[in-house]
């Protein structure tokens, strides 16, 4: 095979893989609306994504808010606009940092575990066992994870925002001496429903991306421990990149 | 009846099955023996559509399942029970839930009926009292028993066993084989066992097929295979390193 043929084969392979990945998503989205619905499994997966990621979300939300409070305060002071600290922190979190950082943290915490779990099910023939029982593994394994992520990501994003805004308040008001009333009233003046809506849309979209990529990578993991480890790494990297790329794309629509 | 005709399959550029022909009558218990990596598991996975052959036919009760749609394949799979190599039990479920899974998801049974059938399956394999344990808490032999119970709970007409005794000690191995024989007598299913446990496998099956170099080189009763003069079969069942099968390739 000459280099040109090799390149062509690689491109065709990549295109086929992208096509398979897309069909996988379409199939999963189709089964979301086809009964019977797996409520028990869905609740379990909501707990898996949500409850277990809560600590890390609170922790990162708190420190992000504190750093924002500190840095934005010093920047605004140069222009004599310290009073706008509240809205600056809140807008940064609600429109951008809350959805993106919470999605990145959940990808590292739950997305990687999801890929590893499905990957191990693949290599230990548990997925084949579901097929052999005349059942559909996408319906049983993938659909509950996608729905759970779509439900949980906006909630975790909201928790991140809330914790972040209060942490910014602690730094700005309690430590740096800004007035409490100014911090919150200015947030009320500047933060609108449109900003919250953008953050919400981003979170829903990130939930879909992370669950899709992580499930797909686990579902197509190659055999052996190395195969699962490779799939897990690829899932986290691809999810993170897609979160940042789609964040920009969604952001341009809502400027 | 299951009939495999000129089945060919290429995996990763290598022709694994080079034209397999095999005919299995209803309610027969047949073993497929052969060296590791000769495609025995690949062959039986074709029967439930987990692999699609490059060419050839698989006729089950007069229907060629190779040409089946996904929906038709799903329908035919309802007639199968499969015991996978490592058991393939769901780690996140108890043994009870593992066995109840195909009943809950596929058949419209009440919880009481499910309980009765799971208890009967557990009793068949000697696992009553262990139903609330998780797969990680079971020994190798118990996992195989649980996998057998799950495969039998829907009362399939065809049961596939993919190396059901891998990794077991000789006593547990014989116990599992006895259990397969006992359940075969009780449920009258058509059974296909992939194995390289020589000679134990000869004592429980009706027929044996030897797969070598992508083809069935000999097929006959256990007695016939044990006394076969085919050099490949002889070398395999005696475990000799000298012969037509190169030991370096093992």
pLDDT tens figures, A106-165: 999 999 999 999 999 999 999 999 999 999 999 999 999 999 999 999 999 999 999 999
Closest CA to B211 of B43, B29, B27, B95: B43
Contact at 8 Å (CB) between B32 and B209? yes
Whether A8 maps to a domain, the answer reads: no
Residue range of the domain that includes A159 = 38-250
Alpha carbon distance B222, B208 (integer Å): 6
Please report, for residues A122, A255, B143, the alpha-carbon distance to residue B167 in angstroms, rounded to integers and kept in the order given: 20, 62, 11
* Record: contact B78-A132, CB cut-off 8 A: no
CA dihedral B127, B131, B134, B135 (to 10 degrees): 30
Closest CA to B166 of B140, B137, B136, B133: B140
Helix-helix angle B111-124:B170-187, to 10 degrees: 130
**A131 and B CB contact within 8 Å:** yes
Tell me the chain A residues in contact with residue B74 when contact means C-beta distances shorter than 8 Å.
134, 136
* Record: contact A125-B86, CB cut-off 8 A: yes
Tell me the chain B residues in contact with residue A120 when contact means C-beta distances shorter than 8 Å.
91
pLDDT of residue B250: 45
Selecting from A124, A131, A132 the residue whose C-beta is nearest the C-beta of B86 gives: A124
Token code pair at residue A114: 């999801």
Distance in angstroms between the alpha carbons of the first and the last residue of chain A: 49
Residue B16, phi then psi, degrees to nearest 5: -85, -45
Give B50→chain A minimum CA distance, Å.
Answer: 7
* Record: contact A132-B89, CB cut-off 8 A: no
For B224, other C-beta atoms within 10 Å of its C-beta total 13
Whether A28 maps to a domain, the answer reads: no
Whether A255 maps to a domain, the answer reads: no
* Record: contact A132-B77, CB cut-off 8 A: yes
Whether A160 maps to a domain, the answer reads: yes
Contact at 8 Å (CB) between B154 and B106? yes
Q: What residue in B sits closest to A129 (Cα-Cα)?
A: B88
Whether A6 maps to a domain, the answer reads: no
Number of structural domains found in chain A: 1
User: How many Cβ pairs closer than 8 A exist between chain A and B?
Assistant: 49
Tell me the chain A residues in contact with residue B84 when contact means C-beta distances shorter than 8 Å.
125, 128-129, 132
Whether A14 maps to a domain, the answer reads: no
Q: Mean pLDDT in runs of 10 for chain B (250 residues)?
A: 95 92 95 92 95 95 92 93 94 95 90 94 92 94 94 95 91 92 94 92 94 94 92 89 69
Please report, for residues A61, A70, A82, A187, the alpha-carbon distance to residue A94 in angstroms, rounded to integers and kept in the order given: 11, 18, 19, 11
- The C-alpha angle B187, B35, B90, rounded to 5 degrees, equals 50
* Record: contact A134-B78, CB cut-off 8 A: yes
Alpha carbon distance A159, A80 (integer Å): 31
pLDDT of residue B248: 54
Tell me the chain B residues in contact with residue A132 when contact means C-beta distances shorter than 8 Å.
48, 50, 77, 80, 82, 84
Whether A24 maps to a domain, the answer reads: no
**A1 and B CB contact within 8 Å:** no
Contact at 8 Å (CB) between B217 and B210? yes
Closest CA to B4 of B18, B121, A18: B18
Contact at 8 Å (CB) between A214 and A181? no
Is residue A254's pLDDT more than 80?
no
Residue A194, phi then psi, degrees to nearest 5: -60, -40
Give A101→chain B minimum CA distance, Å.
Answer: 30
Is residue A2's pLDDT more than 80?
yes
Q: What is the mean pLDDT of residues A96-106?
A: 95
Please report, for residues A58, A93, A157, A243, the alpha-carbon distance to residue A63 in angstroms, rounded to integers and kept in the order given: 9, 12, 15, 21
pLDDT of residue B247: 66
**A134 and B CB contact within 8 Å:** yes
**A255 and B CB contact within 8 Å:** no
**pLDDT per residue as tens digits for the range A34-59:** 888 888 889 999 999 988 789 999 99
The pTM score is 0.89
Give A133→chain B minimum CA distance, Å.
Answer: 6
Contact at 8 Å (CB) between A197 and A99? no
Tell me the chain A residues in contact with residue B105 when contact means C-beta distances shorter than 8 Å.
133, 135, 140
Alpha carbon distance B216, A6 (integer Å): 37
Non-local CB neighbours of A151 within 8 Å, separated by 6+ positions: A46, A207
Token code pair at residue A55: 């600590």
């Amino acid at each position: 095979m000459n280099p040109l043929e090799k390149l062509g084969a690689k491109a065709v392979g990549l295109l086929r893989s992208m096509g398979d990945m897309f069909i996988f998503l379409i199939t999963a989205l189709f089964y979301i609306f086809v009964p019977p619905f797996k409520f028990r499994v869905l609740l379990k997966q909501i707990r898996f994504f949500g409850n277990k990621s809560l600590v890390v979300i609170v922790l990162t939300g708190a420190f992000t808010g504190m750093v924002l409070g500190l840095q934005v305060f010093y920047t605004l002071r140069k222009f004599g606009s310290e009073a706008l600290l509240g809205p600056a922190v809140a807008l940064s979190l609600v429109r951008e940092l809350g959805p993106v950082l919470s999605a990145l943290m959940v990808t590292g915490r739950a997305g990687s575990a999801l890929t590893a779990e499905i990957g191990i099910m693949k290599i230990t023939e548990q997925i084949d066992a579901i097929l052999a029982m005349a059942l559909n593994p996408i319906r049983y394994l993938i659909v509950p994870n996608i729905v759970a992520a779509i439900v949980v990501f906006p909630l975790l994003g909201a928790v991140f925002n809330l914790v972040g805004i209060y942490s910014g308040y602690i730094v700005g008001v309690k430590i740096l001496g800004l007035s409490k009333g100014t911090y919150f009233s200015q947030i009320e003046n500047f933060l609108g429903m449109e900003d919250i809506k953008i953050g919400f849309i981003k979170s829903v979209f990130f939930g879909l991306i992370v669950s899709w990529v992580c499930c797909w990578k686990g579902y197509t993991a190659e055999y052996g421990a190395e195969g699962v480890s490779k799939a897990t790494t690829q899932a986290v990297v691809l999810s993170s990149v897609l979160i940042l790329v789609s964040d920009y794309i969604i952001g341009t629509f809502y400027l | 009846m299951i009939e495999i005709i000129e089945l060919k399959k290429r995996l990763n550029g290598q022709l694994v099955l080079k034209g397999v022909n095999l005919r299995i009558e209803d309610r027969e218990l047949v073993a497929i023996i052969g060296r590791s990596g000769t495609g025995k598991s690949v062959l039986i996975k074709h029967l439930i559509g987990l692999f699609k052959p490059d060419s050839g036919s698989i006729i089950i009760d007069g229907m060629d399942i190779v040409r089946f749609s996904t929906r038709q394949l799903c329908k035919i799979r309802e007639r199968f029970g499969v015991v996978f190599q490592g058991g393939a039990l769901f780690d996140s479920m108890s043994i009870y839930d593992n066995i109840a899974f195909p009943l809950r998801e596929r058949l419209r049974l009440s919880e009481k009926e499910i309980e009765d059938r799971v208890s009967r399956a557990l009793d068949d394999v000697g696992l009553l009292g262990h139903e609330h344990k998780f797969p990680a808490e079971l020994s190798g032999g118990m996992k195989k028993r649980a996998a057998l119970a799950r495969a039998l709970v829907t009362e399939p007409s065809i049961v596939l066993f993919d190396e059901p005794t891998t990794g077991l000690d000789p006593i547990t191995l014989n116990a599992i084989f006895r259990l397969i024989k006992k359940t075969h007598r009780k449920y009258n299913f058509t059974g296909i066992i992939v194995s390289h446990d020589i000679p134990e496998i000869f004592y429980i099956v009706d027929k044996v097929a030897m797969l070598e170099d992508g083809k069935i080189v000999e097929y006959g009763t256990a007695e016939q295979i044990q006394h076969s003069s085919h050099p490949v079969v002889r070398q395999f069942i005696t475990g000799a390193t000298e012969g037509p099968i190169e030991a370096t390739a093992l």
